[in-house]
Amino acid sequence: MADEIERSESGSPIYRHSEKQREWQAPEHSGRNLESIEEHLKQHIGEVETVFHEILSDRVHLDVLFIPADEERPYHTLVTSGVSDLPMTVPEDVENMDRAELLIALPASWPISDESFKDESNYWPVRWLKSIGRLPHDYDTWIGWGHTIPNGDPPEPIANTSFIGFMLSPPYWLSPDFFQFEAASGDTVTFYNLVPLYEEEMSLKLRKGAEELEERLEKGNAGFVVNPDRANVGKSGGWRSWFR
């Protein structure tokens, strides 16, 4: 029942997940939307140069596609393929949002290779793309705009950063036509950007909601490319510090 759902101060539901109990399950639809996703990325971002393939997959085969930075687009883009192989368990009032993929933008200087990924300070964006991508399938739940995922309970810093979790947002810097498209399979696939958050920003979102946090990030000129040294807009006057 609705009144039994734990909610934040902003009224958003809070889902808590214990360790999954089910057994390992081989994927049934490996690569279901891969070709369509690559074509969609080519149209709106750029050509996929490398695919970081998953060796052993549970339930869905989740690869990470790499679009390198260039002169027109001076940032790397990492995008999942495989999250949308299975539908998520969405609420009854949520339509056409049951299949998703995730992306994150990294500075052009970010090391991207199998060798560099042996260092967690380089690998964590990939780890979280895969971890959050698996979450709805591991726990029969869903992910969508404004959802936040902490790094543990209580949350801890991620790798060598001060970020303690993520919020999912539309990739606002891309064309509105990118956000959602129909794959050749007939699936409607929605893309969400992973926004790393500081502890104070996570708390702000829980108190005030996603729109308030997104507004502060925009005013604070936080940008969409990951920057572990950006201003913390969750602190009092945080975004204003950019203009001092």
pLDDT digits (tens, 9 = 90+) for 47-70: 999 999 988 777 789 999 999 999
Q: What is the pLDDT of residues 198-219, one digit of tens each?
A: 999 999 999 999 999 999 999 9
Q: What is the pLDDT of residues 164-200, one digit of tens each?
A: 999 999 999 999 999 999 999 999 999 999 999 999 9
Binned at pLDDT 50, 70 and 90, residue 236 comes out as low
Q: Which amino acid is at 206?
A: L
Residues 126, 186: Cα–Cα separation, whole Å: 27
pLDDT > 90: what percent of the chain? 79
Binned at pLDDT 50, 70 and 90, residue 18 comes out as low
Confirm if 223 and 71 have CB atoms less than 8 A apart. Answer: no
- pLDDT higher than threshold 90 for residue 39: yes
- pLDDT higher than threshold 90 for residue 119: yes
Q: Which amino acid is at 29?
A: H
Average pLDDT over residues 69-94: 96
- pLDDT higher than threshold 80 for residue 240: no
Burial tier of 40 (Cβ tally within 10 Å: 0-12, 13-18, 19+): buried
- pLDDT higher than threshold 70 for residue 24: no
Least confident piece of the model among 18-22, 30-34, 58-62:
18-22
Residues 224, 105: Cα–Cα separation, whole Å: 7
Q: Provide the phi-psi class of 158: left if phi over 0, else alpha when psi is between -120 and 50, else beta.
A: beta
Residues 239, 230: Cα–Cα separation, whole Å: 10
